[in-house]
Amino acid sequence: MGAWLEETLTWGNALLFFLWGVILLAIVLGFVTYAIFFERKVIGWMQYRIGPNRVGPWGLLQSVADIAKLLIKEDTIPRKADRVLFILAPALAYVPAFAVLAVIPYTQNLYFADINVGLLYYVALSGISTIAIVLGGWASNNKYALLGGMRSAAQMISYEVPLVISVVGVIMMSGTLNLRSIADQQGDWFWQWNFIPQIIGFVVFVIAAVSELNRTPFDLPEAESELVAGYHVEYSGFRFAFFMLTEYVYVYAIAALTTVLFLGGWHAPFPFLTWVPGIIWFLLKFSFIVFFLFWIRATLPRIRVDQLMGLGWKVLLPVSILNVFLTAVYLELFVK
Amino acid sequence: MEKYINNYVIVTIFILLGILLPVVALAVGRLLRPHKPNEEKKTTYESGNEPVGEGQVRFNVRYYLFALMFVIFDVETVFLYPWAVAYNQLGLFVLVEMAIFTGLLLIGLLYAWKKKVLKWNSI
C-alpha cells in the first residue's frame, strides 16, 4: 500500500484504492457475521449451554440466516415518525463506523490511509454516531425511543471525554497522532508496549470504550432483558440491522485501535518471535480483545443508571486527566 | 504532496463506501421484502396499548447539562491534543500552563459535582 501512496493520483490508482476499500468492507462484513455467531457461542459455553448449532455445520450459518431474515422482513415506518430523519439515522450511524477504519494500520506495510492526524480523525468521526442515535430516537416519535436515545447519547458523550483524554498519554509518549508511527514506536518486548507505561490510561480507555460501544455492563439504554429496546425500538428489518452492524463495526474498530495504541500493533511479545509475520500478532491481539468484550458480557452484571454517570464523570475523567499529568511529569523527569 | 492527496482520496473512498452500503442494501432489500402497510402496523409502539399523546414528550433538563459539560471538556481535549503531540519539544512552562488550564476546568467539574449535576435521579 505504501508504494501506491507515493505515486501520482490517476484514475487507475483511485480504482485500486476503491477495490481495496471494497475488500476491507467484505472482510468487515464477514467479521461482523462471525463475531455475532462467536459471541453467541462463547456466551453459550460460559453459561453451560451449547449456543446456536442448527443452521449449517456447527451452526456456522446461523448469522447468515439471521441477516437473510432481516433483509426480507417488511420495513415499517410509523405514521407519526419523521420520515426523512428516520431513514437517515441508521445510515448516519453506520457511515462513521466504517470511515474510521481508513486510518487503522495492520502491519508495517499493510495499511490504508496514513494520515498525520489519524487518531484525531478516529475520535472526531466516532463522535458523529451519537448524533445518529439521538436522531433515530427523536425521529421515531415514540416515548421509549426518545428516552432511550437521550440516555444513550448522555452515556456516549459522558464516556467519550475520558476515552479521548485517556489516549493523550500515548500521544505524549509517541509525539505523533499517526497511528502507524504510534504502533511502530512500541518495541519487540511486551513491556515496551504502551499498556504497561500507560496502565492507567489503558484501564480508563478499555472501560470507556466498552461504554462507548453500549455493550454490557454499560448497555442499560437498550437492555434487552429489561427494557423494550431503547432508541431503535421502532426500527425493523434492515434499518435495524444497520444499527446492529454499526455496533459490531465499532467492536472491530475499537479492538483494532486498542491493539495499535496499547498492545504494540504488529510487534511480537518477545524479540525471538519476530519471525512470525506481524499480521499474525495483530490478529491474535485483535481476537483477544474481541473475545474479552464477549467475555465481560457473559461475566459482569449490568450496572445501575445512577452508577453510570457517576463512574464516567467522577472517576474516569479525573483519573484520565491525572494520567496526562503523571505522564508529563514522568517525561519531564526521565526522558528529556 | 502525492501522499497527502492519496491519503485523503482513500478517506473519501471509505466515506463513499460507507454511504454506498446502506443505499445499496436498502435498495436491494426493497425488491426482496414485502410491502403491505396497514394502519395497525403504522401505529407507534407503546407496549401494545393505544399510544397516548405525543411521542416527543418533555424530557429531563439533565441531558442538557450533560451536553454542556461535554462541550466544555471536549474543547479541553481539542487543546490537549496538539499540546500532547508537541510536548517533547516544549519546556516546563507549557506543562504549568496546561496544569492551570485543566485546573480551572476541574474547578468547574467540582462545582457541577457539588451542585449535584452528576447525580442521576429518575428518567
Taking only the tens place, the pLDDT of each residue in A187-206 is 888 888 999 989 999 999 99
Angle between helices A278-299 and A11-46 (to 10 degrees): 40
**Chain B residue whose CA is closest to A113:** B7
pLDDT tens profile B63-113:
888 899 999 998 888 899 999 999 988 878 889 999 999 999 999 999 989
Neighbours of B114 (CB within 10 A): 9
Q: What single-letter DSSP state applies at residue A54?
A: S
Who wins on pLDDT, A220 or A15?
A15
Distance from CA of B46 to the nearest CA of A (A): 8
Domain ranges (residues) in chain A:
1-72, 76-335
All 3 cell numbers of residue A291?
Answer: 473475545
Q: What is the percent of chain A where pLDDT is above 90?
A: 56
Who wins on pLDDT, A307 or A280?
A280
Provide the number of CB pairs (under 8 Å) joining chain A to chain B. 229
For chain B, the 3-state helix, strand and coil shares in percent, each to the nearest 5, are 65, 0, 35
Q: What is the percent of chain A where pLDDT is above 70?
A: 99
What is the per-residue pLDDT for B36?
87
What is the per-residue pLDDT for B98?
92
pLDDT averaged over every residue in chain A: 90
Taking only residues 37 to 96 of chain B, the set having a beta carbon closer than 8 angstroms to any beta carbon of chain A reads 37, 39, 41-47, 51, 54-57, 59, 62-63, 66-67, 69-70, 73-74, 76-77, 80-81, 84-89, 92, 95
* Residue in B2, B6, B71 to test binding to A, most A beta-carbons within 10 Å: B6
* Residue in B19, B64, B78, B85 to test binding to A, most A beta-carbons within 10 Å: B85
**Reported ipTM:** 0.91
Q: Is the pLDDT of residue B123 over 70?
A: no
Q: What is the phi-psi region of residue B47: left when phi exceeds 0, alpha when psi lies from -120 to 50, beta otherwise?
A: left
Q: Is the pLDDT of residue B17 over 70?
A: yes
Which amino acid, one-letter code, is at A124? A
What is the per-residue pLDDT for A165?
94
Neighbours of B103 (CB within 10 A): 12
By the CB < 8 Å criterion, does A115 face chain B? yes
Residues of A in contact with B115 (CB under 8 A): none
> Under an 8 A CB cutoff, do A306 and B43 touch?
no
pLDDT tens profile A22-64:
999 999 999 999 999 999 999 999 999 998 988 888 889 999 9
> Under an 8 A CB cutoff, do B22 and A242 touch?
yes
pLDDT tens profile B18-60:
999 999 999 998 898 888 888 888 888 888 888 888 878 888 8
Distance from CA of A54 to the nearest CA of B (A): 25
Q: Is the pLDDT of residue A279 over 90?
A: yes
Which amino acid, one-letter code, is at A309? M
* Residue in B19, B28, B50, B73 to test binding to A, most A beta-carbons within 10 Å: B73
> Under an 8 A CB cutoff, do A22 and B17 touch?
yes
Quick one: average pLDDT of A141-152?
87
Quick one: average pLDDT of A169-179?
92
Q: What single-letter DSSP state applies at residue B57?
A: -
Distance from CA of B47 to the nearest CA of A (A): 8
What is the per-residue pLDDT for B122?
60
Taking only residues 233 to 252 of chain A, the set having a beta carbon closer than 8 angstroms to any beta carbon of chain B reads 233-234, 237-239, 242
> Under an 8 A CB cutoff, do B57 and A97 touch?
no
Q: Is the pLDDT of residue A6 over 80?
A: no
What predicted TM-score, i.e. pTM, was given to this entire model?
0.93
pLDDT tens profile A107-130:
988 898 889 899 999 999 998 999
Q: Are A171 and A119 in contact (CB under 8 A)?
A: yes
Q: Is the pLDDT of residue A219 over 80?
A: yes
What is the per-residue pLDDT for A232?
87
